[in-house]
Amino acid sequence: MRSDTASLNTHAAATLRYIRASMEAAATLTVPGSAGIAMGVTGVAASVLSQTRALAPHWLAVWLCAALIASSAGGLVMLRQAARQGFTFFGAPVRKLLLCLLPALFAGAVLTAVLAASQPGAIPGMWLLLYGCAMIASSAPTTRAVAVLGGLFTLLGVVACLLPAAVQLTLLGVGFGLLHLGFGLFIGLKNHARTL
């Protein structure tokens, strides 16, 4: 009788672990609007700074610094939100997000290094395009709004690739600044309305 009870308890515990793992794998991360706002403010600041007379020759350095600041700020806000939802850093939803997001961002980093020496004017369009692809991919473990944001970034990237380099810098500000701000506010208001 004891072995039957122990076997039943072991089976029940294994079933619960399977159910928990399945629920975690199917869960989606909620994207906080504050992440988009933080990244948008950084993008607007980078756009303004990179177009000033003193910093215009150093636009790439300005935008690379902004990318580090924005990704750090957005990442921290996302991790805090994931923790609030009960997800761990190595949990399935966070792993899925990183697996969807990082390949396109890695490709952007490699292409930036390659193009910086020979064709720096092609970098803004490429950044917008690959970031849009990263956002579309990362919508799988997040929300449909992220896919829409990614689609707009991708469209902006294609347009930027067809325009002169000077206009592309303005489009960087439109994308990484205004689009992030707009979607951050939209998501924030939408999440706020749900809590009312």
Element (H, E) at 131: helix 123-138
User: Measured between alpha carbons, how far is 5 from 88 in angstroms, rounded to an integer?
Assistant: 33
The pLDDT score that the predictor gives to residue 196 is 56
Give the model confidence (pLDDT) of 152-172 as tens digits. Answer: 999 999 999 999 988 899 999
The pLDDT score that the predictor gives to residue 157 is 96
Task: Look up residue 74 and give its two tokens.
Answer: 């957005």
The pLDDT score that the predictor gives to residue 85 is 73
User: Measured between alpha carbons, how far is 94 from 53 in angstroms, rounded to an integer?
Assistant: 41
User: Measured between alpha carbons, how far is 194 from 176 in angstroms, rounded to an integer?
Assistant: 27
Alpha-carbon dihedral sign for residues 18, 102, 83, 196: negative
Average pLDDT, whole number, for the chain? 84
Q: In 10 A of CB 136, how many CB atoms? A: 19
Give the model confidence (pLDDT) of 5-49 as tens digits. Answer: 556 667 556 655 655 554 444 456 677 888 889 999 999 999 999
Burial 11-44 (b: 16+ CB within 10 A, else e): eeeeeeeeeeeeeeeebebbbbbbbbbbbbbbbb
Residue 115 has pLDDT above 90, yes or no: yes
Give 21 or 179, the one with higher predicted confidence: 179
* 91: CB partners within 8 A, 6+ apart: 24, 82
Residue 67 has pLDDT above 60, yes or no: yes
Give 26 or 4, the one with higher predicted confidence: 4
